[in-house]
Chain A
Amino acid sequence: MKIGRRGFLSLGLGASAGLTLSPLPWKLLDDLSIWTQNWPWVPIPKDGKETYQQSVCTLCPGGCGITVRKIDERVVAVAGREDFPINQGRLCPLGLSGPQLLYTPVRVMSPMLKVDKGYRQISWERAMSLLTSKLRDLRADGQPEKLACLADSDQGTTPGLLKRFLTAFGSPNFFQTVSADDAWEVLTEKLSGAQFIPGYDLEETDYVMSLGCGLVEGWGSPLRTMRAHSLWKERGTQLVQIESRLSGTSAAADRWIAVKPGTEADLALGICRVLVENGIENSQPFREILRSRYATEQVAKKTGVSPSIIESLADDFKHAKRPLALCGGGQGRSPVASREFIAATVLNILAGNIDQPGGVYRNKKYDYLKWPQTELDTRARNGLKQGRLNASPEDLFQTIADSQTSPIEMLLVSGVNPCYSCLDTENVIQAVQKIPFVVSFSSYWDETAVNADLVLPNHSHLERYQDVAVYGGLTEPKMGLSVPVSRQLFDTSYTGDVVLGAAKTLGGTISNSFPWKNYETCLKSTLSGQWQALLKQGFISLPQPGRTPDKGSLRLRLPKIDAKEIQLEGNIKEYPLILISKSSMRLSSGAAGSPPFMIKAVEDTVLKKNMGLVDIHPQTAGKMGLGEDETALLTTPRGAAEVMIHLDEGTMPGMVVISQGLGHTAYGAYLADKGVNFNQLMGPVKDPLTGQNTAWGINAKLSKV
């Protein structure tokens, strides 16, 4: 039979009809849609046994308990631990991004030595021999004090070992980035003759007067504070936020009092005066000062807050059952200006809430590093006699920058990133580059590691044992134990083991001062009585001996309660605006750089493509002819940077606000070159009473580009 063209068509039509009435085309479509997604190069996570392991997060001083989900050996997710007292199941974006910090390509994967073009991977043997030979040379030259160390704190076994090493070696130059907790101790000593770290009973208060504290932006132990804030909403606890801008906390508060920048303490003292005038009994000698200098009209003029509001605030404070005043702007991590602390303390004294429920508890730092006395030889004694070079890291870097040759020969950096976090950053980087030999223990290629001569990476936060003491405003300070939830992925080593190894090699009294085989042994023996409890529960409460409700009186030592104001750097004529920073839970401003999860969540009013934005009132912007999203040059006495404008009516006219946590230059493509580093534009300003850096802003100018 001849099949012509029509026949062929008929064949085709028949085939189509037949196939269509069969499941073939439908099944094939469905199956192909699955097949196309399962090609070999499509990444599919391997299935495996699911387990949960508990630990404590060490990425910020908050000390939250975490529960880590693993599939076989892979860490898959981190969540907050329900049964942990500090955070009670909550966790912040940084903690949640833990797996990204474990697996990031930005990790330092082995000891790295700086060579002509970049860094070369070396073995631990070679790295240790290099380190110890340099240390030996320094000692042989009779200049052990030229070894310096910068650590994140002086609490904990690792910083303890570093500090002990420097002492045995003969160097007094152990520095720690001054945290709020350290600052309290200096302040409280000066003010009352006794050191304490304030613990705030946020859970029991019914009225909170906050002097600019970023309570929902990560204040104190961030998740604990946020939970307290939720409790306040449920119970009707009043929150009064005294802050010059409409921050998240201001928006969440029951009352937002917009004071002129830097005058929070003035308002607080003005309120104190009204309280004292209205008969709040107090036998302390500040009545006169309050009366003479903080009259309501004077305070109203200074702060821009009307007298009636000042009176009403005092009235509310007086009638509250358990009022509480809080200080420590932003996340409360850096030292508070003495003026602010005094003002808040006077308020709390007048409230009668010292060591009372809903008030301020006087917590003591609990030194659990009960190690035997460090052995010293003559060299060490001579070195230690020289005394510490400077009072603070900022001063140290300034001294180095100002000197022809660096007075420090060798710098060890552990747990901090000064080439990003220190103020006047450009200057600090230059100083670090002047130091002949810089050793970084960072787990990541951060700004300091890329300026170091030798990088000896510590295990990352999910791979190590670490003791973490948490004071941060907690009513009852705790100590948590971070445990390894992941095997060590790379050729990294405990910083503690590097110290112990170097000590052993150097021998003599140095070696004698370190009787432990390795870091884990040292940690176990240091925490011996508590080790089992720590492994089981993850935390213990730090003993606070001598705290009784009777000791509720806090006498202020100083006759003068109004310390001098912090003067902002910069001539007002040349720099007519005030630049301050804002913090956010979406960005980490500490040693851990924000991982991709967090950067992706940053609003486009903070970061647009790679440009950092600044908040400015439309009035102020209008005067300078600047509009939304326009580029401008932000200049301060310490530096300049290109920014984009964001018009925000919540920012007081005359102020510029920039975000913390941006402007990294290291940490890889996900973080580098995004936005501007606030620290680079800032310089330290010493508190007149404590000498610590309490700069809260700097004068600045914006100009068209």
Chain B
Amino acid sequence: MSDPLSPINPKPKKSRTYSLVLIFLLSGGFFFLFGWVAFPELLYHSRIQPIDFNHKIHAKIADSGCESCHFFRSDGSFSGIPGIAHCKTCHRKIVKQGKNEAVFINDFIKKEVEIPWHVYSKQPDSVFFSHVAHVKTARLECDTCHGDIGQSTVPKKYEVNILTGYSRDIWGRNLFKPAFLGKEKWESMKMDDCADCHHEKGHEATSAQTQKEACFVCHK
């Protein structure tokens, strides 16, 4: 004999189940959003580049494209981001009268201080990467791995992962975009990205000496 208003009568099974499912879904939804939205906000902190460098203007006057400033030295090593010695070849004094240029001249050139750029593609100390092998031998274009920075008028937003210290661009900003759905090569720069491209190009013999793959080829 079941009296709906009896105090010892528990809630009917069906409605209890519904409320449990509801809690499950609400909780799930909340934490789902937390993981996708709040977590990145907490994990990544923005950093401002010391100078609002305008690539487009400089690319126009550069004779050899990217290699005008990002070149290979005679011993095959890659120069990376140019130091102020290179900038000085033109910017010994104000050239264009921009606000950014004034900051650049006063804070760095005059004080002989290297610009503390935040590097988007900085890899851990354990990684060995040879630019000459990829640019000269494999003839990859710079924007394949680095994106079309050359046409930017301001630096890309730099966000640092506060746990690891590396740029957000390493893991990739767009996480749920697999390669077959159109993920660009330059959108992330982790080991798997390197491996995917090597696999795609059919170049797995990464050691020039042994003609085989090996961990120590990239992790010396």
Contact = CB atoms under 8 A, between A and B. Distances in A.
A6 B22 CA distance: 12
Contacts of B32: 17-19, 21-22
Interface residues of A, number: 30
Contacts of B175: 23
B124 A18 contact: no
Contacts of A27: 39, 43, 171
A3 B22 CA distance: 12
Interface in A41-61: 44-45, 50
Contact of B27 (A10, A24, A44): A10
B35 interface: yes
A18 B39 CA distance: 13
Interface in A1-48: 1, 3, 6-7, 10-19, 21-25, 27-28, 30-32, 34-35, 38, 44-45
Given A15-B31, A18-B30, A35 B23 contact: no
B23 A3 contact: yes
Contacts of A44: 125
A17 B16 CA distance: 20
Contacts of B24: 10-11, 13-14, 17
Given A34-B163, A38-B164, A22 B31 contact: yes
B180 interface: no
A68 to B, nearest CB: 15
Most chain B CB atoms below 10 A, which of A11, A13, A16, A25: A11
A10 B34 contact: no
Contacts of B35: 18-19, 21-25
B25 A14 contact: yes
B215 to A, nearest CB: 16
Given A11-B23, A44-B125, A23 B39 contact: yes
A30 to B, nearest CB: 8
B218 interface: no
A34 B164 contact: yes
B195 interface: no
B28 A31 contact: no
Contacts of A34: 124, 163-164, 166
B141 to A, nearest CB: 26
A31 B164 contact: yes
Nearest to B126: A37
Contact of B20 (A7, A28, A50): A7
B163 A14 contact: no
Most chain B CB atoms below 10 A, which of A18, A30, A31, A34: A18
Interface in A599-643: none
A15 B34 CA distance: 10
B77 interface: yes
Interface string B138-167: 000000000000000000000001011110
A15 B164 contact: no
B209 interface: no
A22 B16 CA distance: 28
B26 interface: yes
Given A11-B23, A11-B27, A18-B31, A24 B39 contact: yes
B117 interface: no
A44 B31 CA distance: 37
Interface residues of B, number: 30
B18 to A, nearest CB: 11
Contacts of B163: 28, 31-32, 34-35
A19 B171 contact: no
A44 B19 CA distance: 54
Contacts of B26: 14
Nearest to A32: B163
B77 A14 contact: no
A551 to B, nearest CB: 46
A10 B23 CA distance: 6
A329 to B, nearest CB: 37
Interface string B1-41: 00000000000000010011101111111111111100100
A1 B11 CA distance: 12
A14 B36 contact: no
A29 to B, nearest CB: 11
A295 B12 CA distance: 119
B45 to A, nearest CB: 13
A24 B34 contact: yes
Contacts of A3: 23
Most chain B CB atoms below 10 A, which of A1, A22, A23: A22
B125 to A, nearest CB: 6
Contacts of B30: 14-15, 18
Contacts of A38: 164-165
A12 B25 CA distance: 11
Most chain A CB atoms below 10 A, which of B124, B163, B166: B163
Interface string A661-678: 000000000000000000
Nearest to B35: A22
A18 B33 CA distance: 8
A14 B165 contact: no
Nearest to B21: A10
Interface in B165-189: 165-166, 171, 175
Contacts of A16: 31
Nearest to B83: A49
B57 to A, nearest CB: 29
Nearest to A38: B165
A17 B28 CA distance: 6
Interface string B58-82: 0000000000000000000100000
B53 to A, nearest CB: 22
A27 B39 CA distance: 10
A148 B31 CA distance: 84
A14 B22 CA distance: 9
Contacts of A50: 77
B148 to A, nearest CB: 26
A44 B39 CA distance: 29
B23 A14 contact: yes
Contact of B31 (A14, A30, A31): A14
A209 B172 CA distance: 66
Contacts of B25: 14
Contacts of A12: 27
A38 B126 CA distance: 12
B27 A18 contact: yes
Contacts of A15: 27-28, 30-31
A3 B32 CA distance: 21
Interface string A544-570: 000000000000000000000000000
Contacts of B28: 14-15, 17-18
A338 to B, nearest CB: 48
B19 A1 contact: yes
A511 to B, nearest CB: 47
Contacts of B33: 18, 22
A76 to B, nearest CB: 13
Given A24-B34, A34-B166, 14 more contacts: A14-B30, A15-B27, A15-B28, A15-B31, A16-B31, A18-B28, A19-B34, A21-B32, A21-B35, A22-B35, A25-B35, A30-B171, A38-B165, A45-B125
Interface of B: 16, 19-21, 23-36, 39, 43, 77, 124-125, 161, 163-166, 171, 175
6 contacts: A7-B19, A10-B24, A17-B24, A18-B34, A25-B35, A27-B171
Closest 4 CB pairs between A and B? A22-B35, A14-B27, A18-B31, A18-B32
